[in-house]
Amino acid sequence: MQDMSAYALDGRTAIVTGSGSGIGRGTALEMANAGAHIVVAELQQDAADETAAMIRALGRRALVVATDVTSVESVENMVAAAVHEFGGVDILVNNVGGLGPKPKKTTITELEIDEWESLLRLNLTSQFICCKAFITLLLRSDRRGVIVNIASLAALVPYETSVVYGAAKAGVVSMTQTLAAEYGKRGVRVNCIAPGHVRTPIPEALYQGREELRAAQNRIIPVGRWCEPEELGRLAVFLASDASSYVTGQTIVASGGMTYFLTKVH
């Protein structure tokens, strides 16, 4: 029988930011399925506790830490709590992002500077803060480690009226490449996932009652449907595991083939 141990995360600890729902929860559960213990770094306490219960039901340990990833102090406290609980951390999944508490699409002429800066902090600066804290921890403890950043298809193709979101996610792709180049010889791998449409609570709410629009979206996706969070989670498991030990600095697009369509349209 073929040895599949390279795909496992047995005995490793993973921080998954924003793991109370959506992509974060799907990733946390898939990593737990693969053998990892999980730090649920999440501001929403009820959602975090729910994810933690699911992880424990899989026979893995879970630590819930209320974390504001836009705050240096909060992230550093979260990492310290993870080390205290598990003795170290092996994997960081930077998942937090979005269009803010009141999602809207805005042209550059309508976009205010405070909105620009707020969304950059949520989508790009937050990942910088988490990467810095995690890499600092690895270097101090002389450990190897893996970072999986979550960007967006918007980093690679134009999304009209989403200039700041696309710019921030493009920054995540660039940061991924730079950190991979800088820290590869120190045993740190850094990769990125760029999802297309994913069935998470925010877009589900936005498409509520708009079935014709959802159907139109499905028609332009070659596989004919949106992605499920656990599908991205399984990709993150691969990138975090030894099965991808020679992969770093890469951005993996998970769009159901939509990238090709968008490049042709634009």
Secondary structure of the chain in HEC code, one letter for each residue: CCCCHHHCCCCCEEEEECCCCHHHHHHHHHHHHCCCEEEEECCCHHHHHHHHHHHHHCCCCEEEECCCCCCHHHHHHHHHHHHHHHCCCCEEEECCCCCCCCCCCECCCCCCHHHHHHHHHHHHHHHHHHHHHHHHHHHHHCCCEEEEEECCHHHCCCCCCEHHHHHHHHHHHHHHHHHHHHHHHHCEEEEEEEECCECCHHHHHHCCCCHHHHHHHHHHCCCCCCECHHHHHHHHHHHHCHHHCCCCCCEEEECCCHHHHHHHHC
Lowest mean pLDDT among 129-138, 156-165, 228-237: 156-165
pLDDT at position 265 is 47
Catalytically annotated residues: 165
Percent of the chain having pLDDT more than 70?
88
pTM, to two decimals? 0.91
pLDDT at position 175 is 98
Q: Round the average pLDDT of the chain to a whole number and report it.
A: 90
Give mean pLDDT, residues 144-154: 95
Residues in CB range of 46: below 8 A, 6 or more apart? 20
Give mean pLDDT, residues 120-135: 98
Yes or no: is domain 10-199+229-255 CATH 3.40.50.300?
no
Q: Is the pLDDT of residue 157 over 50?
A: yes
Are 68 and 86 a contacting pair, CB within 8 Å? no
Predicted confidence (pLDDT) per residue in 67-107, tens digit: 999 999 999 999 999 999 999 999 999 999 987 666 666 78
pLDDT at position 145 is 98
Predicted confidence (pLDDT) per residue in 8-48, tens digit: 999 999 999 999 999 999 999 999 999 999 999 999 999 99
Q: Say which residue the tokens 């996932």 belong to.
A: 193
pLDDT-based confidence at residue 266 (cuts at 50, 70, 90) = very low
Predicted confidence (pLDDT) per residue in 199-251, tens digit: 776 666 666 677 776 777 767 777 777 778 899 999 999 999 999 999 999 99
